[in-house]
Amino acid sequence: MDKDNRTYKAIDFFCGGGGMTCGLRQAGINVIAGVDFDNNAKETYEFNNPGSVFIQKDVKRLHSNYFEKNFGVQKNDDRLIMVGCSPCQYYSIINTDHSKAELSKDLLMNFARFIEYYRPGYILVENVPGIVTNKETILPKFLKKIEKLGYKHTEEIIDMSQYGVPQSRRRFSLIATRLDDVKISLPKKSEKIYTVADVLGEKNGFGRITAGHKDTSDFQHTVAGLSAASLKRMALTPHNGGNRLSWADQPQLQLKCYIGRDDIFKDNYGRMWWNRPSPTITTKFFSVSNGRFAHPEEDRAISIREGATLQSFPKDYIFKTNSIAGAARIIGNAVPCEYARRLGETIIFNCHGKK
């Protein structure tokens, strides 16, 4: 281990409830601050990451010298990491409100303003694959900017199921550095692919519960309720990967939007498979009607804690919200902690080439 790894520090832009911060801290990196406009994430972030300060600011209105003045951050610090996992609604394939998502389109360039001012040793970026494939993407402009500032980078669209996360989650991942003697690379892929069965179920501490169960403990094994009709739908959906086609021919259960349209949104009301990674955990994972988010065998959606576990949050990570939807939004928007940890360790153990 690098005995001096404690000197690595990071600023986590667009930090949300702290998935990236949590993982970097697990790697031994001092995350001095997280920046996010969403005040609903503040309590969750600071409660679970003591010592990391949540700055509730719009990045567009945050002065470049803010961290210099308030945290003593120096320019040209070789062991400073700046993280920019900007909101990705504009580039997401599941975006339904393009006009609202327009606000997130250029956030990466606002992040670049801080890179130019501080010239950190390292840059981390995580986003949806659409930031590469979308015709209007800001990514080429961002890459041109950091290259002009002297950064070399490596990038790839990865599936986080290959990096210790029990979830199929395709993401764009980038590491950049301006240090000449550093060889940069993304984390190495795992030999083992973790599945739902590896982390959920009774053997992993998740007791059997029913739809609508409210867990008042910090474990937060809380699950959304279901209507009588949806409970019947779940009862007819085969365990371990079944989908809504099992009750499509029953008029009292079939939804009008799916009549004669068995070829669309087949994952909605579907169950996860025990022996596969989960599907991508979105901000709507608490609802069986929004994807394959039903438990493999129990007649319910997955719980808040189950969704967090599939996002590789520690089981003692507490989501300080007043609603299931609020917790799910923090969880679904997060960078999985395990992948963030591996990014941090890649910088500490593999990138640092100085003797």
Cα–Cα distance list, 225 to 104, 211, 212, 282 (Å): 32, 5, 4, 18
Rounded (10°) CA dihedral 297, 293, 194, 168? 150
In this structure, is residue 126 part of a structural domain?
yes
In this structure, is residue 188 part of a structural domain?
yes
Q: For residues 308 and 324, what is the distance between their CA atoms, to the nearest angstrom?
A: 12
Could you give the 3-state DSSP secondary structure of residue 144? helix
Q: For residues 223 and 242, what is the distance between their CA atoms, to the nearest angstrom?
A: 20
Residue 270 has a pLDDT of: 95
Handedness of CA 195, 306, 163, 126 (dihedral sign): positive
How many structural domains is the chain composed of?
1
**167 and 161 Cβ atoms separated by less than 8 Å:** yes
Q: For residues 161 and 273, what is the distance between their CA atoms, to the nearest angstrom?
A: 14
Residue with tokens 């990514």: 139
In this structure, is residue 199 part of a structural domain?
no
Q: Where are the alpha helices (DSSP H) in the chain?
A: 19-26, 42-48, 66-71, 98-101, 107-118, 130-133, 139-148, 196-199, 228-236, 304-310, 324-333, 337-345
Residue 99 has a pLDDT of: 53
| CATH code at position 47 | 3.40.50.150
Q: Which long-range contacts (CB under 8 A, 24 or more apart) does 244-247 make?
A: 244/268, 244/269, 244/270
What are the start-end ranges of the E strands in 26-92? 30-36, 53-56, 80-84
Q: Name residues whose C-beta falls within 8 Å of residue 136's C-beta, 6 or more positions apart in sequence.
A: 105
Question: Hey, which residues does 80 pair with through a beta bridge?
Answer: 9
198 closest CA partner among 276, 272, 295: 276
Residue 3 has a pLDDT of: 43
Q: For residues 131 and 150, what is the distance between their CA atoms, to the nearest angstrom?
A: 22
Is 88 tagged catalytic?
yes
Q: What number of other Cβ atoms are within 10 A of residue 172's Cβ?
A: 21
Q: For residues 151 and 155, what is the distance between their CA atoms, to the nearest angstrom?
A: 13
pLDDT in 10s for each residue of the chain, 355 residues? 344 444 899 999 999 999 999 999 999 999 999 999 999 999 999 999 999 999 999 999 999 999 999 999 999 999 999 999 988 554 455 555 555 444 556 899 999 999 999 999 999 999 999 999 877 889 999 999 999 999 999 999 999 999 999 999 999 999 999 999 898 999 999 999 999 999 999 999 999 999 999 999 999 999 999 999 999 999 999 999 999 898 788 888 877 777 767 667 788 999 999 999 999 999 999 999 999 999 999 999 999 999 999 999 999 999 999 999 999 999 999 999 999 999 999 999 866 544 3
In this structure, is residue 164 part of a structural domain?
yes
Max CA pair span of the chain: 71
In this structure, is residue 219 part of a structural domain?
no
Question: Which of the residues 15, 22, 85, 88 is marked catalytic?
Answer: 88
In this structure, is residue 246 part of a structural domain?
no
**What's the alpha-carbon Rg for the chain, to the nearest Å?**
21
N- to C-terminal Cα separation, the chain: 14
In this structure, is residue 178 part of a structural domain?
yes
In this structure, is residue 177 part of a structural domain?
yes
User: 27 lies in which domain range?
Assistant: 5-193+335-351
Record the pTM: 0.93
